[in-house]
Amino acid sequence: MNENPIEVLLTQPVPEAIDARLVSAYRVHRLYQHSNPQQLLDEAGPRIRGVVTGGAKGLSNELMEQLPALEIIAISGIGTDAVDLRHAASRGIHVTTTPGVLTADVADLAMGLIIGTLRRLGEGERLVRDGLWGKVDQPLARKVSGIELGIVGLGEVGKAIARRAAAFDMRVAYNGRREQPETGYRFEADLVALARSVDVLVVAAAADGGQVLVTAEVLDALGPEGYLVNVARGKLVDEDALVEALREQRIAGAGLDVFVDEPHVPPALRDLNQVVLQPHRGSATLQTRLEMGQMVLSNLAACFRGEVPPNCA
């Protein structure tokens, strides 16, 4: 390492192989491990030139302002909603993402949540683990093949979900910013109308706008035999309305990988049998995280060479 290495801040862990390459190239400060994060920022903040973070965690303006030498915020993920892009641009800070590589994993998890929720796999596993098989009644599940599937946001992830749905003979409809007739899927401009017409509503939209999409009205339209799956961002769903709809059985169930205030999950969601929960693991496979990490490394290196990084948001 150089005598005066470039200093980089990590807000969360990265795969070991990527971590090792960061350490070999830069002086790395680990905000997530420090017993006194503010002390770290006070001491090292003026020298930090790069931040590596996740899409959900991002980087607040408050923290950004404590890094006067910052040149790049390298997001391992595709979401930029947790970074104020205008504020970063006003300071000449590059914000980069890792597009493309996590699409398949997120779509796979969406299908897993659809199957797990409708077939009540979580309940079945708990029943077996608790030694209750044969001792208590097992409720019948919902057939997965042939359902009507609604997708909120037909971007790359939404399209990948739709392609997988075809293997299950699902009929796909979608809601988004624009109609995409070339896909062959049914477009529904009104999200309430889409919810009313499908068995499962999957949220796969970008959260850059930050507004709630799945409201109490949408949940009511989904109805007592409908299911919600969210692999996008928790804040796209009115979480309080979702809890009430599940409690009152106004919808049949939910499969959730994302939440409003991660890692905090409302206790009511943890207590409901008809809900399948995951800890925001849409892209959490070793293969994909290594590929994402490589893109982060490439974005950092380009920036510090004085170039525009290849994956600017």
pLDDT of residue 2: 61
- The residue-averaged pLDDT of 287-302 equals 97
The pLDDT > 90 percentage for the chain reads 95
Residue 26: count of CB within 10 angstroms of its CB: 23
pLDDT of residue 133: 95
Q: 175 and 191 in contact (C-beta within 8 Å)?
A: yes
pLDDT of residue 208: 79
CA dist 161 and 79 (Å) reads: 18
What residues are annotated to the active site?
233, 262, 280
121-166 residue pLDDT tens: 999 999 999 999 999 998 899 999 999 999 999 999 999 999 999 9
- Tell whether the model's pLDDT for residue 276 goes beyond 90: yes
- Tell whether the model's pLDDT for residue 210 goes beyond 90: no
Number of H-type helices and E-type strands within the chain: 12, 12
- Supply φ then ψ for residue 45, to 5 degrees: -50, -45
- The residue-averaged pLDDT of 261-277 equals 95
- Reported as half-sphere exposure (CB side, CA atoms, 13 A), residue 178 has a value of 4
100-121 residue pLDDT tens: 999 999 999 999 999 999 999 9
- The residue-averaged pLDDT of 277-288 equals 96
- The residue-averaged pLDDT of 223-227 equals 98
Kind and range of the H or E element at 218? Answer: helix 216-222
**Residue (of 8, 276, 32, 34) closest to 141 by Cα position:** 276
- Supply φ then ψ for residue 16, to 5 degrees: -55, -45
- The residue-averaged pLDDT of 197-221 equals 94
DSSP 45: G
pLDDT of residue 48: 98
CA dist 179 and 197 (Å) reads: 17
- Tell whether the model's pLDDT for residue 1 goes beyond 60: no
- Tell whether the model's pLDDT for residue 235 goes beyond 80: yes
- The residue-averaged pLDDT of 275-279 equals 97
Token pair recorded at residue 107: 């779509």
**Residue (of 270, 245, 243) closest to 195 by Cα position:** 245
Q: Which residue has the tokens 């896909």?
A: 183
**Residue (of 136, 109, 138, 111) closest to 124 by Cα position:** 138
- The residue-averaged pLDDT of 273-286 equals 96
- Tell whether the model's pLDDT for residue 299 goes beyond 90: yes
CA dist 169 and 164 (Å) reads: 9
CA dist 71 and 155 (Å) reads: 29
Task: Tell me if residue 232 falls in helix, strand or coil.
Answer: coil
In angstroms and rounded to an integer, the radius of gyration of the C-alpha atoms of the chain is 21
Q: What is the mean pLDDT of the chain?
A: 96
Question: Residue 195 — very low, low, confident or very high, per pLDDT cuts 50/70/90?
Answer: very high
- Tell whether the model's pLDDT for residue 3 goes beyond 80: no
CA dist 223 and 71 (Å) reads: 48
- Reported as half-sphere exposure (CB side, CA atoms, 13 A), residue 289 has a value of 15
pLDDT of residue 209: 74
